[in-house]
Amino acid sequence: MLMITKDYIVGLVDGEGSFTAHVRKSNKLSKIKRRARIEPRFFLKLIEKDKKILYELKRYFGCGQVYFQKDSRPKHQNCYRFEVFNRKDLNRVVIPFFKENSLKLPSKKKDFDLFCKIMQAIEKGKHLTDSGLICLLKIKDQMH
């Protein structure tokens, strides 16, 4: 078993982590008459031989999933990805962790701050209006 510390997690996320929001176009007919959805996500990707670290992160945070991610590009290795996309887990676990344990890289800290803005706007229901969704997409566009 690895010794996962808060500082270790911060360093790992500074180097290999990502705070983002995916925009998905909906192909299905639904009651919501929007053509896109915004899905905030926190993830970390490592090569296959380091996947045990991702399972330790999942255990540490008590949420998220670990996925296999095949890479068919020449000279690239298959990877595993630890990802948290459940909004309650992001608000309850991930955001408080990184507010208490600041990221060190300015670019990563900026992405985290923008991620928090997106999450706050979603909590207020801004993503449910066209103008709110456009505002969220503008915030997302500022992310690395």
Q: Is residue 1 part of a domain?
A: no
Print the domain residue range for 23: 6-141
Look at residue 74 and give its three-state secondary structure: coil
The confidence score (pLDDT) of residue 50 equals 94
- Tens of pLDDT, residue by residue over 86-98, are 999 999 999 999 9
Q: Is residue 127 part of a domain?
A: yes
The confidence score (pLDDT) of residue 28 equals 47
Average model confidence (pLDDT) across the chain = 89
- Tens of pLDDT, residue by residue over 118-131, are 999 999 988 888 88
Check residue 92 and report its DSSP letter: I
Q: How many domains does the chain have?
A: 1
Cα separation, 66 vs 53, in Å, equals 10
The confidence score (pLDDT) of residue 30 equals 47
CA angle 13, 90, 17 (to 5 degrees): 15
The confidence score (pLDDT) of residue 40 equals 95
* CATH code for the domain in which residue 31 is found: 3.10.28.10
> For the chain, which ranges sit under pLDDT 70?
1-2, 24-36
